[in-house]
Structure 1
Amino acid sequence: MRAFELKLVKQIVVASAATEGGANDAFVRVEQIDYKKGIKAKLRIYVQTANGPKEKSVTVKQRASDLYALSNERANYSSGFEVSEINAEPGSEFVRFSSGRTLRLGEEIGGAREDTRRAQIKHTIKRHLDKELQVQGRGVKVLSLFFVDCVANYRNYDEAGRPELGIFAQIFEEELAALAHQERYRDLPWLKEPLAEFFNNQQRFMDLVVLILKYELHRLLVDGIKYERIDGTGTNKRYHCLLCL
């Protein structure tokens, strides 16, 4: 917001989405319920790791499992998530927790489901492209930011150290590729480049970003430096300086 106040940017727009269950709700999805070798269920939850929370599947048994412990003590599971009952009767499967909350097979609570994530990412890309069309030829650069909960959701590495796409990167590439084929965006110069080259050669992408930044810096004509007083008096006076463009 400070950049906007200093008129370094023209406009800031923030988009958000709310998922059913509330931001403070714990994510749980019932993936499987089995009665072979004892009644048990497979749940999908967030587990705390050294690299942040990650979705993982855990196996639970009734009256013997606590999601707080299984999640490596994530606070969202600290109360009411002890497994009190598992019903494995075909057609009536469910898991009940100590809070009284019951989830049937295939149901979930909390978290951001993939359809919500996809809708947010698609909306942001579309708004970005629309804004580029709106300011095209006016010397205004559009910047869109994505805030992710952990790096692994964008870029991860397999056991051999090879990079692989996280879920957010997969969705981003799919939605950008789909929008890039729409007729209304055909006039955007950077979309005329083969998108696969950007996705597969990220160093080339960064090199292009550097070239664009250098070009824009050369376009700026700095007239001088202006000092504006912030507060204080005497020797305690404070100033900040602005580039006068």
Structure 2
Amino acid sequence: MSEQRTLDRSAIARQKAAQTKNRRTQARLFESAMHHVTAPRRAQQQITVASICKEAGVSSTAFYYQFEHGVAELLGEVLDRSMRRVRRQIARDIERELSSPDYRVAIAVYRVVEELFRYPNLFEVETVPRRWVQLIAQPLAEAIVSDDRDLEDHPGMVIAEYHANAIIGLLGRDYTPSFEFFSKLVVSQIIPVLGMADPEFGDRWQQLVHSLPPI
């Protein structure tokens, strides 16, 4: 019996050690990925497994053990965490401002674009997965629909995904316009599509978003 207990404790210790090692590997890979996507804009250099592993000091075998679908899965995790934070911030902004539908959409666009500007190299991948489009579209769709309806097949999600694709396309260009111009451009496109804006909205929304605290 005592021998069995010793074996059980040994197995538990090995399991805990393996879990700790996995967490450390994930943390190093995530840190490397964050450095890649937030570094100054790189000219035509894709983010690769090799470049992430080199900086993280991790083997490609260890990388694929954690992220079997490659760079897209790891960067998708970066984007997922980012958009979760943005959605929480948008909810706080809307609650504080008691905003109209126009303002909800403007705030969502502003926050999404503000966040994506932190990651100038995020879209330096061969193909942008549809999941990334959906992650970016989610906070936009929530602002457009603004109720508890299922968003998956809602027209608001279709509109949000269309504009999410446009945002990704513009951010992936060699030349990206300034944040101020970019956010104004997206708002000016999405609001008329929704048929929401009143005549004075174009002047007022900028006053609102400039009063918002940073994330």
* TM-score, normalising length: structure 1: 0.34
* TM-score, normalising length: structure 2: 0.37
Higher relative contact order (CA 8 A, sep 6+): 2
Please tell me whether Structure 1 or Structure 2 has the larger radius of gyration of its CA atoms: 1
More strand by share: 1
